[in-house]
Amino acid sequence: MLIESLKILFNRDLKRVIKEIEEYNNEVDIWKIKGQINNSAGNIYLHLVGNLKTYIGKELGKTNYIRNREFEFSSKNVPRQELIKKVENTIEIITQTLDNLNENILATEYPILVFDNKTSTEYLLVHLTTHLTYHLGQINYHRRLIENDEK
Identify the pLDDT of residue 151: 56
Over residues 88-123, the pLDDT tens digits come to 999 999 999 999 999 999 999 999 999 999 999 999
Print pLDDT tens along the chain (151 aa).
Answer: 999 999 999 999 999 999 999 999 999 999 999 888 889 999 999 999 999 999 999 999 999 999 999 999 999 999 999 999 999 999 999 999 999 999 999 999 999 999 999 999 999 999 999 999 999 999 999 999 998 766 5
Q: Please, which residues have CB within 8 angstroms of residue 143's CB and are 6 or more apart in sequence?
A: 20, 23, 24, 29, 41
Identify the pLDDT of residue 150: 60
pTM above 0.85, yes or no: yes
Domain boundaries, the chain: 2-149
Question: Domain 2-149 sits in which CATH superfamily?
Answer: dinb family like domain (1.20.120.450)
